[in-house]
Structure 1
């Protein structure tokens, strides 16, 4: 999953990780849109989760697949794909599941020819090589893999610890970072935009945010909740 952060208040991209994702480049896999940290299997430690199998579809071996790519039908472009146990999966055909969300597909997998074999794939994640996923990211320095954002330390602009990123969800209005506060309590959400997240330092293991303190401060009874279009002004 990837996203990209843009200035001027625009979203930072999508796992995959900051702001609205751009259209995939010709000849490159689509960016990843995963919204939860991948569980990296020991058999495939450099893998990035790109999809997960669902229930069997029909009796001829087809199976539902939930994609985490910007273009769900581009899953096969990330080949070789593997399961958590290291087995290689070859997707022979994909189509959108009828009447479902655009990230839900019907897949035909090589060697899976009946319902029992399809059911054996249920809830198994598909992983793609990191280098294949990174090729979708291109050279954009403002584009990130969600898997690289999960777990980063969160600091304010004074260098004080705020918490840690635990997820990068998108509920329909663009990427957010979900932060587990250092002091405990409920997680908080900030838009993954440059106005709110001015620094993303993957190598240093941290991001710098604006407005988190205001989001965590208990609201006064007569106070309106802060808007998320711009960072809230801090109060003394």
Structure 2
């Protein structure tokens, strides 16, 4: 039986099929892409399916993998989008100032002035970089913000919080500034 999701880390995601012999694109979330091949069998989120990587090679921005038991393009197509997990204890330990994205889930999101924004409930990546999702304590729509050093300058896992600087408050960010006709006037 698998560990609870809290003790497992999402390390990769299957992409589209590659070719006709069952190879599949594999999008690793590890610092070193090929490290994902050294963790042993990978599991689906619910732990009911296991996948063994028989071989993997680097491609442009992903890996191309051969998975045990996946021998046709149709087999590979059925796996597209499936996230893959391993037990946390199979991963290298983190330094004091490092963390896994999974460690962000549940942290309080507060501003530098200690105003609570809510709790981090997810880390997404839709292709343009990591996005944190903050659920407000009052309910309503979640806040989606880029997970960057400018927006999230401090993550303190031990204290259970992350400092969040809303984009309109970042130095040099004038997107929150409403322009007036005078802003565009030229000196005569």
Question: Who is 1:144 aligned against?
Answer: 99
Measure the CA separation in 2 of the matches of 1:153 and 1:50.
Answer: 24
Q: Which moved more, 1:157-166 or 1:209-218?
A: 209-218
Question: Who is 2:36 aligned against?
Answer: 75
Change in CA separation of 1:209 and 1:129 when aligned onto 2, cut-off 3 Å? same
Q: Does the CA-based 8 Å contact 1:150-1:168 persist in structure 2?
A: no
Give 1 or 2: higher strand fraction: 2
Q: Does the CA-based 8 Å contact 2:41-2:50 persist in structure 1?
A: yes
1:167 to partner: Cα distance = 3.1
1:219 to partner: Cα distance = 2.1
Change in CA separation of 1:129 and 1:153 when aligned onto 2, cut-off 3 Å? same
Deviations 1:96-121 (A, max 9, x none): 23xx4x2x221111122222322232
Measure the CA separation in 2 of the matches of 1:65 and 1:167.
Answer: 19
Number of aligned residue pairs: give it.
171
Measure the CA separation in 2 of the matches of 1:203 and 1:218.
Answer: 33
Q: 1:62 aligns with which of 8, 23, 29?
A: 23
Match status 1:167 vs 2:123: yes
- Aligned-partner SS, 2:85: strand
Structure 1: unaligned runs, 5 residues or longer: 1-41, 225-236
RCO greater where, 1 or 2, for CA within 8 Å and sep 6 or more?
Answer: 1
Change in CA separation of 1:219 and 1:55 when aligned onto 2, cut-off 3 Å? same
Question: Who is 1:132 aligned against?
Answer: 90
Measure the CA separation in 2 of the matches of 1:188 and 1:59.
Answer: 39
Measure the CA separation in 2 of the matches of 1:61 and 1:88.
Answer: 16
Find the structure with the greater CA-based Rg. 2
Q: Does the CA-based 8 Å contact 1:80-1:129 persist in structure 2?
A: no
Question: Who is 1:94 aligned against?
Answer: 56
**TM-score, structure 1 as length reference:** 0.57
Change in CA separation of 1:196 and 1:116 when aligned onto 2, cut-off 3 Å? closer
Change in CA separation of 1:196 and 1:148 when aligned onto 2, cut-off 3 Å? closer
- Please tell me the root mean square deviation across aligned C-alpha atoms, in Å: 3.6
Q: Which moved more, 1:142-151 or 1:111-120?
A: 111-120
- Aligned-partner SS, 2:20: coil
